[in-house]
Structure formats: structure tokens, C-alpha cells
Structure 1
Amino acid sequence: MHEDKLYRAALNGESDNVGELLAAGADPNQVSEGEEEGLPLCAAAAWDRVEVAEALLAAGADVNGRESGGWTALHWAATNGHADTARLLLGAGAEADAATDDGDTPLTLAARRGALGAVRALLEGGADAEKFDGDGDTPLDIAADWVGVHLESALLDQIGQEGWEYVVARQFAKDGTELVTVAGRSADGSETEQVQAQRGHAAVATLLEDASGVYSPVERLVARALAHRDTDEDAETWWVVADSLGKRADDETYEALARLCVSEDAREREFGVDAIAQFGVSEDAKPYLERTLPLLQRMATTESNPQVLRSVLSALGHQGDPRGLPQVLDIVGRPGHRRTMTDAIALADVLPPDHAEGLALLVSMTEDADDEVRDWATSGLASLAADTPEIRQALTARLDDTDLRTVAEAARGLAERGDARAARGVERVLAESDDEYARGLATEAAAKL
């Protein structure tokens, strides 16, 4: 009986109840019986109950335990697009390429759903991008078949029945792609059915092409990016494609992107800039810098579209070359320019330590009304090689900021300069913040003190 209760508690995400049942002797590997048959870990994975899954694993749940049909918890996480749970399971030893009785792997299931986050987690966890499913299709075959398909219509075709009523709902999934749900019910309300998919197939196909060594023409990839520019929450597909092209680091691709930068279409120019900004860039090399910097400097003068100009600003910062400073100052100083965190990031990235005008502007950004602008400006100021009373004073002023990430950045900058005032910021962050990034910075600053 404990086991049935444990399954239901896991399904509902009742962490405290799960803990109590496990402490009372419930077996985390016992299949529940009755109407809700299955393993507690699979139930938690199917509904993205990360905390519950952690508790079950700690209590000895078999991470590769199988339900009927050969389904494991990782299959359930993948088919429902739950990247966080997938990462947890993979870290606990889940078999990345385990097949169900029908031959489906976690990766083929995630690719079919269009679950960008889950596909990325599986690839990072060692999943085989070329392993076939039971029908002989690779994950790439599956994702590519969905690219360009009208998702709502395809889902409706899966459950469509004469006389039923249907509703389509759209929201963003955790990975930023659009989640489409089609729900139907019979005329008398006695029967219901629901199917879901994410509009991430273009990004998934791009990731899988890279993982499988499949070359896709630049034009095809650009079309994917442009088609999804306003569909994803934060242009996820756009950036997946830009990153894929940037890794190619060959002259042919570079020239294709350079042509986009002078296109009559503003969206093509925007994508061209975003992709070329990181083209061939690695930790210790920027082989296209001497071609990219003049291109961006020219665009800073000729570009009139605000969104493209913001991409140019970001790209100038990404080059990290002080020769781009005049153009950065020009763009952020134009009448009507709306300040964002991109201003602070770009300015800090190209600012030499002895440039008074640029330093004064960056300091002013640390006092901006917008939390993100202050945070990034403070981070940039903290990272400068220079150490002056003006910089220390500006950082000290941020120790009382309402945004604790900004406080953490300021404390880091002061600690790196051997300034004992950093301790006040460290104490605030560790006492008041539960943000892992901020606490990590504070811990780093404390160690340097």
C-alpha cells in the first residue's frame, strides 16, 4: 500500500509526503498496482518533479528501472521535454541510449517532440545522435520531417475525431521554445484527449546535424533562423543556428554571412551580424577579427534599423578590440537610443583602462535605474585591469544596491583590488540571497580577501 501512495505522491510532486513514505519503508523500486501502475521515479520524471526524483534516487531508486513497454524514467523525461530531470537522471547513471520495446530512444522521443532543452541535455549526456528508432529513423530524420510542418494541424490530425470539439493553447516551455497543446473532447464530454509538441524542431535538427557531422547549406540554416525569430521566447532557434554557422570557421560560410550584413532585408542583416560576431571565435583566437571589425565599424555608420544596430553594438563588444570603442560610444550616445545591458557589456568589453570618457560613462551605467544595466556595468567595471580611487568608489557605492547580483559583482571587484570593503558586500549576499551565481561570486570574493 505504501508503494501506491508513493507513486501518487511522486506523480503530484509532493516532496514532503514522498520523504515521509520513504522514511516509513516504502520501496522506491516497487511498481504500483491498480489504475495508476508504474514506477515512482518514472512518474516524477514524466511530470518534471526534480526534487522528488532526487529523493527517490537517494533512497535507492533504480535510475534504469523499466515500466511496461520498456520505458525508463529518462524516456518519460525526454518525451515530455523535461531537460532538468533528464540531466539529473543522466548524472545518476541513466542509460542515454536505452530503447523501449518499440525501439524508441530518449533522443528520438525528444526529437519528435521538438524539445530543444531535452535534446541538448541528452547530447551533452552522451546520447548517440545516429541511433535508429524502431522504424529505422535517426533522431535527425525525425526532427527534419517536422521542420516546416504546421504544428497545430499536425497535432490535430493525431487525435482528430468527427464531432469532437478542440482547443489549441500556446505557451513557452522551459527551454524557450513554444509549447503547443491541442486538447479535444467528445460532444457529450465523456471522452477527452490531449497531445503536445514544441516548436523547436528546426533548432533540434541543427543540433543533430552538428552532432552527426551532416553539412546543411547556409541558405537552409538562415531560413530556419529567420522563420523562428519571433516564435521562440528569446530567439533560441536563431542563436542555435548562429552558433552552428559560427563553428564552421571557413571562408565560404564567412562570405555568405558578410553578404547578409549588406542585405536589403533588415532581418537578414541582423542575423548576419549576430552570426559573424562569433565566427570562428575560440578562447585564444579570433581569426576573422581583421575582416569583421571593419565590417562592423562601417555598419555602425550606415545602419538605421534600431534592432540591427543593437546587434552591431553587441558584435563590436564581442570582438573585444579597443579599436571599436569610437563606434560603441557613438551608438550608445545617439539621441533616442534606449539603454540596455548590451550597452554596458559592449562598452566594458572594448574599454581600455586609461580612457576617461569611456570610464565615466561605464560608471554612470552602474547607477542606472535598470537592474540588468547596473549589474552588467558593475561586472564590467569590476573586471577592468585598472585600479583607481574612482573605480573603487563606484564599486563601493554598489554594495548597498537593491539587486544582490550587482552587490556580488561589486564585492568581487573590490576583493580583486584587495579592498577590505568587499567584506560588507560578501556578508549581504550570503545572508540575503539564494541566487547561486551571486553566492558563488561572494564566495570567490571572500576567498580573495
Structure 2
Amino acid sequence: MEFVIKISQFLLSLSLLIVLHELGHFIPAKLFKTKVEKFYLFFDVKFSLFKKKIGDTEYGIGWLPLGGYVKIAGMIDESMDKEQMALPPQPWEFRSKPTWQRLIIMLGGVTVNFILAYVIYVAVSFTYGDSDVKVASLKDGYWIDNPALLDFGFKTGDKVLAINDTPIINDSDIGFNLISAKTITINRGGEEKIIDLPEDFLGQFSSSKSKLNFEYRIPFMVGEVADSSLNAKKDLKVGDVIKSINGRELKYFDQLDEVTEGLKGSTVAVEILKEDNSIVKKELEIDNEGKFGIRPYNNPPRFEELGYYDIFRKEYTFGESFAAGGQKFTKTIYNYFDQLKAIFNPSTGAYKGLGGFKAIFDQFPSAWSWSYFWGLTAFLSIMLAILNLLPIPALDGGHVVFLLYEMISGRKPSEKFLERAQVIGFFILIALVLFANGNDIFKAITN
């Protein structure tokens, strides 16, 4: 069921972004009376799952979910329709239109993506507001379990005070500032300490087998008890919190291995905090691998109630949501440019973290959350827009570069040159796609 929920969110988000991006090309093309031969969600290599011709345009759904496209008459694109380009230009073709119209058509897709992201951020701000965890409220700091972070010198219990010279107030500030981090100031046991990060820390961090970052220190709350667990019939309820084991306090889940050391294959006495805050005592079994067979549960409101951290909440009026959404929009754009800058700088090693479709799929939660879905969709819309603006032939940005050259110089690049540039751009894109998705496969095998 978890897979069905994740794949449903992934395909819904991807389909929405592709259709609206291509609609951004389609609408101005139609407004300028340019013939659009095809409008496809996904690629129809050899055959399509569905197609219907309405007017001059064939609308369809392909079987290869790697993107989508509109085929505009008289345009050198991925279809490489040389036969059409060999014929005399027709007034309804892309190549016959004024340069400014062609430029608007080419910028239509990324424009829609940027507008979509901003609208989503505004709607999410108005509908859900903002919530974040105050770093100062994490009394015993963060849980550090990622081997890369441990190698850099971090320890469980560290409190993050600043990244570079930027004070960290909310937990989300860490993610936004980590990309460009060179130093991180922490408080460890009441003493401030500056940890210098290596130049390739992003590469080391993304190559780590662990996906954990700076994690909250939370209690061991019972979630799902496996049917095969020795504790399957112990009447444990979702939301129960295991507070002690054999008389030893278990304040945080990250202390579990320490508290259960030497207890493999034994029966232990535990104290459990129930949802009504009463304490009950039970005997639980630890298997020969040192496990309870219990999947922990994440319940932020309950953790806040128990005093593990404070959640900052802010609601926005309809008018205020436009400014709040705008701040998220611009912040995300700046952050993504920082990511790209790091990826294209080999010394950072950030390219090792470049992912493909699996990496995007993994970002969706296993439980449906509309607020998370729309937030991630807004980010992916910005990512799609910025990537399409890269000056690579075969991308919108490549076409824009040639059109700007034509507008400035007054000379149009030859169709032969554009064909060759399209082929080169296509191979660059294939190489990038193979590298990104190859990274996904490599991580899946090695992790």
C-alpha cells in the first residue's frame, strides 16, 4: 500500500507539471496561429496508450513516462522532422513567425512552471500556514547517526547555532543553508565549537549509506508491530511510548541500542506511557538480533505535548499569503541555484548526489499528505523551469539562446546548424539522464 501511495503521488505530480509546462508552449503557439501537430503526456515511442485528433492537433498519452512534448510545425526539435523542414516555409509554421513570437512560445513552458510554483506556495500558505520546529527548543540537541556527519565531527546532542554566519532559528533553516555551508557552529555540552567542513562534504554526505540528516531526538513511540514480532500479542497500541527498559530510562529512541546492550534474546520489563499519560508496566521480548520487532511512529503534536520540542505555527490571511508565498518562492529559487552551482563544481563532489526519477520518487511520503504533496510539486516545478532554461540545445534554454542571437545580430542560424546543435544537445541530455538515473541505481545497489 505504501508503494501505491508513493507512486500515485509521483505520477500525479509529474503529470501535472508536464501537462502545464507543455500547455505553456501550446497556448502562445495557438494565439500566434502556429500549427501544433501533437500534444503528448509522456513519450509515444513507436506507439501511444491513447490518442485523439481534434482539429490540427493530435492529443495523446505515451507509454514512456520520461516527460512530454508538443510538436510545433516548422520547428527543429527532438522529432528531427527533416522532411517538413525541407519544404518551403508556410505561414502557420514556427519558422515563419517573427522572432519575438517564437521567443514567447519557447519561454511559455518555464513561465507557466514559475507561475504554478508561486500560486502553489500562496495557496499552501493560506490553506495550511507555516509550521516549523524552533531549534532552541531541542533541549538535548540533534540525533546524529549519519556516518558522514560523524566523520565531520558531529555528535548526538549537538545544538546547531549557525551555518557560516547565518544564525539557525528554525529547523528548516538547516536544509536551506547546508548546500553552501563551509562552517557550522554548534553548542556541545554548553561550549560553542566551530566545525569546518571539507570542500567535498556534499559529495561525502550524498554518498553516505544513511539518508539521515540532523534528526530530532524523539521518544520510542510504538507504531506498527510486525506480525512476526515476538511482541505481536502484547497488546501494544499505536502511540504507546516506551519510557524505560529494565529500570533504565529511555528518554530518546537514539538511546535504544545503548539501553538494550547485552539483552539479546531476553525478556525485559518496560514502562509504557499511554495516550492518557498513565503508566503501565509490561514484559516485552527482545529477539536474538536485539530487536523488539516494533516500527517506531512519528507524531509531532504528541512529541510537542510531551516537551520534546516546540512547534512554531503561523497562519496567514488571504492577503498575507501572497507575500508569504513569494518569500518561499524566491527562497527556493536561490537555494536551487546554490545546488546547481555546487553540482557543476567538481571539487564539491555534489554531482555524486545527483539523482533521477527514483530520487524524486523517494521524496514522496508513504502516507498521503496534501500539504507535503503540493510543497514538493512547487519545488519540482521550479526545478523543471530552471533546468529547462539551461543553455543546452534541445532544451528550451538552448532555443532561447539561438533566438536571442537572432534578435541581436539580425541573422538567423542556418537550419543545418540548428539540426546539428539539436543532435548534440540530445546526446548531452541523454548523458545527463543516464548519469542521474545511474546514480540512483548505484546507490540502490551499494546501500
Fold-level match, TM-score > 0.5? no
Instruction: Report the TM-score, using the length of structure 1 for normalisation.
Output: 0.18
**Structure in which a larger fraction of residues adopt helix:** 1
Higher strand content, 1 or 2: 2
Q: Which has the higher contact order (CA 8 A, sep 6+)?
A: 2
TM-score (norm 2): 0.18
